[in-house]
Amino acid sequence: MRTLSALMAVLLSAGIARAQASGSQTPPPAQGATTSGTQSATPPASKQPQAKTKEEFETYKAGAALSDPNQVLAAADAFAQKFPNSELKELLYVQAMNMFQQQNNAEKEIEAGRKAIAVDPTDPIPLIHVASALVEVTHENDLDKDQHYAEATKDAQAAIDNINTGLHVPPNVTPEQVTAVKNNITATAYETLGVIQMNKQDFAGAETDFKKAIDVSKSEPAARMYLRLSVAQDNQKKYSEALDSANKALQYSQEGTVEKNLAKQQQARLEKLVQSGSPASTPPPGAVPPAAPSGSTPPPGTAPQPH
């Protein structure tokens, strides 16, 4: 999600600039942008949020200028009450959400993201933020675990389904940036779905989702995804395939990282299993977890959350 967050900032800052430009004069009704994406069959969503009055714009601008995410969120709530039909209110919620994510405050990120989704349930940016953050904060013994996983699954799938129609793409964003954002959102969504499947012990489903995530992000391969794929295959006793995935995780991981260390461990034990042809020495499924971004090791049978 760190790369994803940086790319989201491109659209966010461009959207704010667009809103400010349109708010400096009497704005016309919102119109579709003419920017075309790199895939001719999938033109990007184009509706540009604009202020209808100078007061609306000035109030929005004051909220967007705040540096404390709690204040931005409070300003977004006040703005939404004062201008319930404004096209700009989602921007403030998304800004607060992004700021909370940068502070690693997943609970508040979810709160702001849910409010953005309530404004626009088809925008992939808050959808994927909330989905991945929910998986991050959910633990095996949580009473609301199933509810969180259901919401995260719904949001992640919605991010995938609306990727070509739900993004608010300002005309000053390049097609290459749009493609990068789309790929990152889609890959993160599939990875989030895979982690949910892994935590539910559906390792075949997790394998399918991790492969989709890897395929979408193949131009920028992530060691974390290959390591998670290896664990999913390992738990199905697909040792040769799991070893191949572990080798790729090792190839793409940086020296000294958690991913590198866990990839080495996974590679070593899978090599022994493949060479001996004796699965009897296999540790319990899930005993070798994928790399956790936080540096912690999750309990057996679980997977760390992408965020």
> Is there a single domain that holds both residue 187 and residue 54?
yes
- Positive or negative, the Cα torsion across 24, 30, 31, 36? positive
Is residue 207 domain-resident? no
**Which helix (H) or strand (E) covers residue 129, if one does?**
helix 124-137
Crossing angle for the helix pair 106-119 and 89-102, to the nearest 10 degrees: 160
Percentage of residues in the chain having pLDDT higher than 70: 75
List of residues 6+ apart from 290 with CB closer than 8 A: 224, 227, 228, 230, 231, 262, 303, 304
Looking up residue 85, the CATH number of its domain turns out to be 1.25.40.10
Q: What's the pLDDT score for residue 77?
A: 98
Among 143, 173, 202, residue at a domain's last position: 202
Residue 224 burial (C-beta neighbours within 10 Å; 0-12, 13-18, 19+): buried
> Is there a single domain that holds both residue 165 and residue 29?
yes
Residue with tokens 């919605």: 158
C-alpha gyration radius of the chain: 21
Range of the domain at 53: 2-202
- Provide the residue count of the chain: 307
pLDDT tens, position by position, 17-67: 555 555 544 443 333 333 333 343 444 445 678 899 999 999 999 999 999
Residue with tokens 């990727």: 163
User: What is the amino acid identity at position 296?
Assistant: S
> Is the separation of the CB atoms in 179 and 163 below 8 Å?
no
Q: How many domains would you assign to the chain?
A: 2
Question: Out of 22-31, 183-192, 265-274, which region has the weakest mean confidence (pLDDT)?
Answer: 22-31
Reply yes or no on whether the pLDDT at 96 is more than 50.
yes
> Is there a single domain that holds both residue 33 and residue 154?
yes
Q: How confident is the model at residue 13 (pLDDT cuts 50, 70, 90)?
A: low
Is residue 118 domain-resident? yes
